[in-house]
Amino acid sequence: MSRAPCRMTEPNDAFPFEPAQLGSDMRGLVEALPELRQGAVNYAARDVIVEEGEANENLFILLEGTALLRKSDDHGHLVDVDTFGAGSMLGLTSFWSRTPVFARIEAETDVVCIAIGREVFDRLIARDRRFVQAVQNLFVRNLSDRYRNMISVHMERHQLETALKAERNQLRDTISQLEHMTNRLVNQEKLATMGQLLAGIAHEINNPVGAMLRGVDTAREALERTFAADGACAHEATLLAAGLECPFWSSEEKRNRMDELLSTHSEMGRPLARRLAQLTAPALAVVTPRLKAAAPVLESLLSAYELGVSFRAVNLSAHRIEKIVTSLRNYGRQSSTAWEDADIVQGIQDTLTVLNNRLKRYELHLDLQPVAAFPGNLGEINQVWTNLLVNAMDATPEGGDLFVSTVMDGAHPVVRIADSGTGIAPDKLDRIFNPNYTTKNQSGAFGLGLGLSISRDIVQKHGGTISAANRPAGGACFEVRFAP
């Protein structure tokens, strides 16, 4: 808080100081003009002379001591901006422009200054040429001092910015290296953890899947024995067997078969036609002559066929689950110390199984020729195929083409993964394997720029090389070449 200043109001009192530093003109004016003598004000250290944001009706000329210019930051903390000495004009901008004070001015030491009110200032400007000349000289001096200070501040700031930029670049490089190492460690830990989790999940899933398969087989065998024991159920037994061999009918095929049935049996209702549309030709040969039989008889025949279809669907789904679980278990195999013979083709097939849900949106072209196995870390090598395939899908519109091939080039197993996507800009081909370099963020996707860098490290760890090029037909092609 500011303290009320002590104003010296006696016009005939002598000043308690010798302001020689102000120059003879101002000193003479102070001695000659009663208005200036009456405006002399004392402030103690830390007193506020003008407050930020308030109106200012006085121009202050600092005669003795020093004052601080302080500005509030966004958090309300005062920051020291500049220091004023004897001869400085205080509050000039707010006084002249009649705008609120831009920054606080407070006494740093005990100070004495002259406070010139607006009325006195206007009167002296109008009648006293000496005052005008002295104020102009003081004004130019203050502007000159502030201009020099501004240049010095800019030069210091430039030097600090240069030093800070160099330190920032060094720090950024260090952080980038640490992030790369951290992500490598995290990725390796994830692979190891995933392998452990997948092994446990595979075991837990395989048990109920096995029970389901045994249950379906038991139910089917029991039903077959029941039909065989009852001589009247020969047709049901035939239809059950036909249902077990039923192919997959697409929705379009079912509609076409249904329309054909309705055209030849106009009296048939659509619900019955829908059930008959999934029957194979041998099953239709059994059911068609009995379409006019009693409802329970027809229902028994159709139910026997549909039971066979259901048994087949459950059996196929259960085996599909087994295959997926096996692929996941193979995909996540990880060893931190011992390597084993790496079957590249099997690893690619396992990776394709893991990514199958997303790969359905693309035309996948496979040419997987047998290649020689070599010692390696299966989990890490599968990570390479995952990264390359995901990148290919990210760069290719849905419905585009993906190409995966394996071949032996002499003694070298070679894997090529290509796409029909946007390709790689020529000026980026030599940078895409650098850590933290990504082009995905420019296309709206998100990437950390680590996948290709990690893939390169894994391939090099296994004595191989990885390279990228653009396909003549469009898109990119990545080639991984191992040297067993």
> Could you give the CA distance from residue 305 to residue 316 in angstroms, rounded to a whole number?
17
Domain endpoint, select from 127, 156, 191: 127
482 three-class SS? coil
What is the model's pLDDT at position 192?
Answer: 59
How many C-beta atoms surround the C-beta of residue 64 within 10 A?
19
What is the model's pLDDT at position 209?
Answer: 80
Q: Tens of pLDDT along 265-277? A: 878 888 888 888 8
Helix, strand, coil % (nearest 5) of the chain? Answer: 55, 15, 30
Q: Output the DSSP codes for 377-389.
A: -HHHHHHHHHHHH
What is the model's pLDDT at position 421?
Answer: 93
Sign of dihedral through CA atoms 355, 356, 359, 363?
positive
Q: Residue 58 belongs to a domain with what CATH number?
A: 2.60.120.10
Phi, psi values for residue 41, rounded to 5°: -135, 140
Q: Tens of pLDDT along 161-171? A: 888 888 888 88
Residue 73 lies in a domain: yes
Give the rounded percent of residues in the chain with a pLDDT score beyond 90.
22
Residue 213 lies in a domain: no
Residue 182 lies in a domain: no
Which of 361, 413, 409 has the alpha carbon at shortest distance from 389?
Answer: 361
What is the model's pLDDT at position 338?
Answer: 59
Domain endpoint, select from 127, 148, 182: 127
Place of tokens 């130019």: 140
> Could you give the CA distance from residue 435 to residue 176 in angstroms, rounded to a whole number?
8
> Could you give the CA distance from residue 5 to residue 395 in angstroms, rounded to a whole number?
74
Place of tokens 């963020």: 441
Range of the domain at 56: 6-127
Structure letter (DSSP) for residue 357: H
What is the model's pLDDT at position 10?
Answer: 40
Amino acid letter, residue 455: S
437 three-class SS? coil
Q: Tens of pLDDT along 413-423? A: 999 999 999 89
> Could you give the CA distance from residue 19 to residue 74 in angstroms, rounded to a whole number?
39
What is the model's pLDDT at position 446?
Answer: 37
> Could you give the CA distance from residue 259 to residue 265 in angstroms, rounded to a whole number?
10
Domain endpoint, select from 86, 107, 127: 127
What is the model's pLDDT at position 245?
Answer: 83
> Could you give the CA distance from residue 180 to residue 435 in angstroms, rounded to a whole number?
7
Residue 281 lies in a domain: no
C-alpha dist (Å) from residue 417 to 394, 461, 483? 13, 20, 18
What is the model's pLDDT at position 185?
Answer: 67
Whole-number CA gyration radius for the chain: 45
C-alpha dist (Å) from residue 257 to 246, 271, 286, 298? 14, 13, 17, 19
> Could you give the CA distance from residue 229 to residue 251 in angstroms, rounded to a whole number?
37
Q: Residue 424 belongs to a domain with what CATH number?
A: 3.30.565.10
Residue 416 lies in a domain: yes
Number of domains in the chain: 2
Beta bridge partners of 7: 41
What is the model's pLDDT at position 191?
Answer: 58
Quick check: 286 and 301 in contact, CB under 8 A? yes
Listed as ranges, residues in the chain with pLDDT below 70 are 1-28, 183-200, 202-203, 248-250, 320, 324, 327-338, 436-450
Residue 64 lies in a domain: yes
Q: Tens of pLDDT along 352-394? A: 877 887 888 999 999 999 999 888 887 788 889 988 999 999 9
CA 237 from centre of chain: 60
Threshold 0.85, pTM exceeds: no
Residue 183 lies in a domain: no
Q: Tens of pLDDT along 308-334? A: 888 887 887 777 677 767 766 666 554
Burial of 360 (0-12, 13-18, 19+ CB in 10 A): exposed
Residue 221 lies in a domain: no
